[in-house]
Chains A and B, each alone.
Chain A
Amino acid sequence: AQSVTQLDSHVSVSEGTPVLLRCNYSSSYSPSLFWYVQHPNKGLQLLLKYTSAATLVKGINGFEAEFKKSETSFHLTKPSAHMSDAAEYFCVVSLGSGGGADGLTFGKGTHLIIQP
C-alpha cells in the first residue's frame, strides 16, 4: 500500500520569498514521486518527478524537490515566489514510473497563496 501526506493545507508567502511545500510518503516498495500543480479551471500539470535517479529533481518554472529516503519526504521548493505560482499543489506517489495498474495516489493538496 502507498500513501501521501501533505503537511500543510494552505501556505501563504510574499512574492519574491522562498516557497516550501512539505510532503511525506509511505510505500512498501521503491516509489516514484511527483508534484503536480492545478490552476483554477485547468487540468493537472506535472511539475517534476523522481524515479530513482538523482535525489534532487529540477522541474519546470524554477521548482525543485529533494527525495530523502531516511525521512520519507519529498518537499517542493522554489527560491522566489511569483504571483503566477498561486495554485493547488499535489504530491503524488506511484509504484510505477508514471502510474501503473494501481494508478497515481494523490495527497490532499496544498493551496499556495502569494501575497503581493
Chain B
Amino acid sequence: ETGVTQSPTHLIKTRGQQVTLRCSSQSGHNTVSWYQQALGQGPQFIFQYYREEENGRGNFPPRFSGLQFPNYSSELNVNALELDDSALYLCASSQLLGNEQFFGPGTRLTVL
C-alpha cells in the first residue's frame, strides 16, 4: 500500500509568483486535506476536498485554491506569493469524510 506522497520536496519562489503543489492520496482514500505549517508552529487547516469539491475551508484568503482530480490526487495553488507563505505544506488523505487522516512528508516552500 502506497502512502501519501507530495511533490516537490522543496521549492523556492519570489514574492508575487504563483506556485502549484501536488499530492497523491493513499490508495483507497477519497478525501484530501491541506495544511500550512509555519516554522515553530502547528499545522493550520487550509481546505479539504471530497469527490472533487471543496468541502471545508480554514481562515485562508482566496489566493489559496485547490483541485481534486478523479483519481483523488490533489493540487494546492497559491497566487501572488507573500513572504509569510514560506512554510511546510502538508497534505493528508482519509478513506472517508471524518476518518483518520494520513499525512504526507510535506513540501517546503520558501518565498524570497
Interface residues of A (CB under 8 A from B): 36, 41-46, 49, 90, 96-109
Contacts and interface: CB of A to CB of B under 8 A. Distances in A.
A68 B105 CA distance: 32
Given A45-B103, A99-B33, A102-B56, 4 more contacts: A42-B105, A98-B94, A99-B98, A103-B47
The 4 residue pairs across chains A and B that have the minimum distance between CB atoms: A103-B45, A101-B56, A106-B42, A96-B98
A43 B55 contact: no
A102 B45 CA distance: 8
Contacts of B56: 100-103
A41 B88 CA distance: 10
Interface of B: 4, 33, 35, 40-48, 55-56, 58, 90, 92, 94, 97-106
Contact of B33 (A45, A97, A103): A103
A106 B102 CA distance: 15
A106 B100 contact: no
A108 B48 contact: no
Contacts of A36: 103
